[in-house]
Structure 1
Amino acid sequence: MTDLLRLSKLYVVKQYEEDGSLIIETRSKNPRAPKRCCLLHSLDKNGTKRQRYRDHPVQGQPTMLEVLRQRFKCSFCGATHYEELPDVDADRRITARFRAYLEDQAIRLPFTQVADLNGVHETLIRRLFEERAARDLADYQPPLPRVLGMDEIYLHKRARFVIGDVENKTMLDMQPGRRDVDLRAYFEPLPGRERVEVVCQDMWKGYHTLTKAMFPNAVTVIDKYHVQRTANYGMEVVRKALYHGLSNKSRIALKRQRSVFLARWETCKPETKARLDNLFSLYPALSTAYALKERFYDIYEAESRAAAEEATTRWLASVPPEFERPFKTSIDAINNWRPHILRYFEHRYTSGYVERLNGLIRAMNRSGTGYSFEVLRAKAILKHGIMSGTTRYWRDPDGSPEDYPESFWWVVGVPLSTLEADLEAGTF
């Protein structure tokens, strides 16, 4: 009989079909009793029991292994045990190779798709993935880059901490929260903290405190996009303030023009400039606010830090008293973070790609129909993690010239382009 199993510990007795499934009856080649029952180990054979375990489909047909499993009884304590079956996962009622296959599929495909393709319940796929992730990522320690990006994303109503390699545009890791005590405990054991030279972050004080404590050789650079968007907020405050006193029709019309104020004057289309000019003629306050917003953006057009310093000072002096409150967020950003904001002109890095990553994580959450945070993190790292490695050579102690290589591999990041393509294909 053709061996459909190709399992080292089992052999085929017969095979037949039952309710559309292929049943392969098997026996152990060498039944092995459990290694120990109790202190006075004495096991006697005590009949057999038929047990079924799901295996890979054969030519698309559901397949079950029916094992006539030897039963043992302890003559001392009376406990009943079954023979060991290395080829099967008795707890999950599947073969060990089918379990490994489902684990790999759970990494590559959405859980619901894996369940449908293999005729099992989605709950089993989720549990197998969680167990696989717990094993593979138990000792995961991302290598710290020269330029580290820090940010957060809100998932399941909580701020989740995200770090990435800014220069290589890869996600390194996600953590469930951003409390200082938790982040210090996370970074403390990571090797290479002294190699971090630049940390890109938003204007959250906790990150700056963390940088000073964990990265002794690093400087803080406030991400320019977080700075620039404070000017957009000021623009919005002025626009919304104009609602008072307008008719309902005019208010709705002005509300619909919200996006046009995000445009940069130097790069927008002629029709956009025409729309802006029309709005400025109707509402002169918008013209002043837009000019303040544009000059604030222009600070980042400076060619040197000295020039940026001058542009920043001029902008602060140019804010009319009546516009200080709407643009308070921008003014406070400069007053509280000025050295770190202007350090961008010495280290021209941004964590903008981390913002892009946040969008991808939200898409991952949607495509995964509500993956937990732990599953999102594990799936991204296990599926798209870039592997790097090294080989160490051990000299034979007898002095012979032969070397024995041993390879070590680790994940060095998740490329955003690959992750994005996967999400667009709907296979995350």
Structure 2
Amino acid sequence: MVNDSLKRPLNSDPPPNTNCISLSWSDDDGAQVEQVVSTTIHDLPCPYCGGKRRPNGRRIVRYRDVPIDGVPHLVDWHRQHYRCTQCGRSSNEENPTFEKERFITKRFAEWIMQEARRSNLASIAKQAGMNQVFLRRLFHFLTATNSATPVRLPRSLGVAMVKVAGGNRPALADVDTCVLVDVFDSMDELKQFLVDKETPSSTDVTCVVRDIELEAAEFFGPGQLRDLFPNVTLSVISSRSLARSAVASMVALCEPWIEATASAECRSPISVRKLFVRRNQDLKRSASGRIRKWQHMSEAASLFRAYWLKERFLEIWLDDANLTRWQDWIDEANRLPEQRFQEVITLVESRWNEVTPCFKDLSIFRYERWLEDVQKYEIRGTHSFAAARLALLAKFEKPSEAPLAPPSSLSEEEERAIANISYLGSNDGSG
């Protein structure tokens, strides 16, 4: 039964193109029921033969509408029924306010999409007075319908991996305005979108900034980019993705030292590995003291040197954006036993011309800092990718307002120092 305090009808606007004729309450679920009739033109010709129709009674059809102050809201549409005077066939009046296949109003569908950006589906179902399973199916139908709308690609396109709904998903962004264009459930979905001949403005893309991890999919190398975007003139690898890839290589190369240190500390290799990848600036005092002890342990001395080489590497590529220190880092890395980081040096050397625009082009520099905020943003309260995607797009759908300037712009002397590093080859896409 409905609570007595709710017996008084709540103020509500009837759906568009309708007039309210009465309000009541449902004893089944406590929802407010609004009886409405259409205000659209009724004397339309027969949809089958074009003949004149005559009214033939009304049929009441119930639709779910936007809840009012947390109370479920239902609309009973008194739909006019007709019969043709010429062909004798029956027909009904039409009203664009209602989605007849789903028995919901158009504004209820829009409300679901807006609420999904800031709340989880269970909470939305409770507000609407609906079964959660049914609401979830309705939501996925609406998101599939919306995702069918063509997405216009920007002139400078960013392709990156972001964490959404517990997994890393490919995302597209506008580099110039720092706006998230769309997020895809998988690499296969992104590939299907990009190879679709109906994707608008693919020929307008002239610059692509991508994460180096995407090349593992054999889809975003320089050669493939030319096929996807025939007018691209600048292919850039994100400096932050290059740093992540380099650190992953360092961990693999230091595995023998990690195991030796773990044995000396009587800890698991997983514990040592996790400590090695953490930034020194984020360590607590106990963890920082543990790393300092490595310096005085014969089994961990090499790992101690490797750790601080890793820290200086990240300072060059992430913090200071000072590429003139790169040669000093190489000289120090080559003094490691067995020149253990030679693979890291080769990785950076081979992609140098593709990564240096991240420090020379202010738009790309701003985009990388903005993308870091996107990748760190955590969406709470939902495990659905579709709902999490909407929340992420809502958070980053507006251009970034805060102007970001490089911490140290490259001077003429620094430009010459970068250009004179002899081992750097041309950007021929050979990798």
Q: Residues 7-86 of structure 1 correspond to what in structure 2 (within 5 A)?
A: 10-11=18-19, 13-19=21-27, 20-28=30-38, 32=42, 35-39=45-49, 41=51, 43-56=53-66, 62-74=72-84, 79-85=89-95
Match of 1:162? Answer: 171
Name whichever of 110-119 and 43-52 sits farther off: 43-52
How has the CA–CA distance of structure 1 residues 203 and 209 changed in structure 2, closer, same or farther, with 3 Å as cutoff? Answer: farther
Q: Confirm or deny: 8 A CA contact 2:71 2:127 kept in the other structure.
A: no
Query: TM-score normalised to the size of structure 1?
Result: 0.65
Q: Residues 236-251 of structure 1 correspond to what in structure 2 (within 5 A)?
A: 237-241=253-257, 243=259, 250-251=265-266
Paired residues, what number?
A: 375
Q: Confirm or deny: 8 A CA contact 2:72 2:127 kept in the other structure.
A: no
Indicate whether 1:171 and 2:166 are aligned: no
Offset from partner CA, 1:7-44 (integer Å, 9 cap, x none): 67555555544525544445556772664342464644
Match of 1:390? Answer: none
Alpha-carbon shift at residue 141 of structure 1 (Å): 1.6
Q: Confirm or deny: 8 A CA contact 2:120 2:382 kept in the other structure.
A: yes
Offset from partner CA, 1:379-428 (integer Å, 9 cap, x none): 54356522xxxxxxxxxxxxxxxxxxxxxxxxx5899xxxxxxxxxxxxx
Q: Confirm or deny: 8 A CA contact 2:40 2:95 kept in the other structure.
A: no
2:328 maps to which of 283, 304, 311? 311
Q: Confirm or deny: 8 A CA contact 1:163 1:172 kept in the other structure.
A: yes
Q: Confirm or deny: 8 A CA contact 1:203 1:222 kept in the other structure.
A: no
Q: Which amino acid aligns with 1:151?
A: A
Gaps of 5+ in 1: 387-411, 416-428
Q: Confirm or deny: 8 A CA contact 1:26 1:65 kept in the other structure.
A: yes
Q: Which amino acid aligns with 1:131?
A: L
CA distance in structure 1 between the partners assigned to 2:320 and 2:56 by the alignment: 86
- 2:152 aligns to what SS in structure 1? coil
Q: Confirm or deny: 8 A CA contact 1:171 1:413 kept in the other structure.
A: no
Q: Which amino acid aligns with 1:234?
A: M
Alpha-carbon shift at residue 333 of structure 1 (Å): 0.9
Indicate whether 1:340 and 2:354 are aligned: yes
Match of 1:230? Answer: 246
Alpha-carbon shift at residue 223 of structure 1 (Å): 1.1
Indicate whether 1:220 and 2:220 are aligned: no
CA distance in structure 2 between the partners assigned to 1:280 and 1:222 by the alignment: 33
Cα RMSD of the aligned pairs, angstroms, is 4.8
Name whichever of 235-244 and 332-341 sits farther off: 235-244
Match of 1:118? Answer: 128
- 2:254 aligns to what SS in structure 1? helix
Name whichever of 27-36 and 271-280 sits farther off: 27-36
Q: Confirm or deny: 8 A CA contact 1:170 1:413 kept in the other structure.
A: yes
Alpha-carbon shift at residue 371 of structure 1 (Å): 2.6
Gaps of 5+ in 2: 1-8, 403-431
Indicate whether 1:278 and 2:282 are aligned: no
How has the CA–CA distance of structure 1 residues 244 and 83 changed in structure 2, closer, same or farther, with 3 Å as cutoff? Answer: same
CA distance in structure 2 between the partners assigned to 1:291 and 1:343 by the alignment: 26
Q: Confirm or deny: 8 A CA contact 1:184 1:210 kept in the other structure.
A: no
Match of 2:212? Answer: 202
Q: Confirm or deny: 8 A CA contact 1:150 1:163 kept in the other structure.
A: yes
Query: TM-score normalised to the size of structure 2?
Result: 0.64
Indicate whether 1:131 and 2:142 are aligned: yes
Indicate whether 1:385 and 2:377 are aligned: no
Match of 1:354? Answer: 371
* Percent of matched pairs sharing the same residue: 17
CA distance in structure 1 between the partners assigned to 2:76 and 2:281 by the alignment: 74
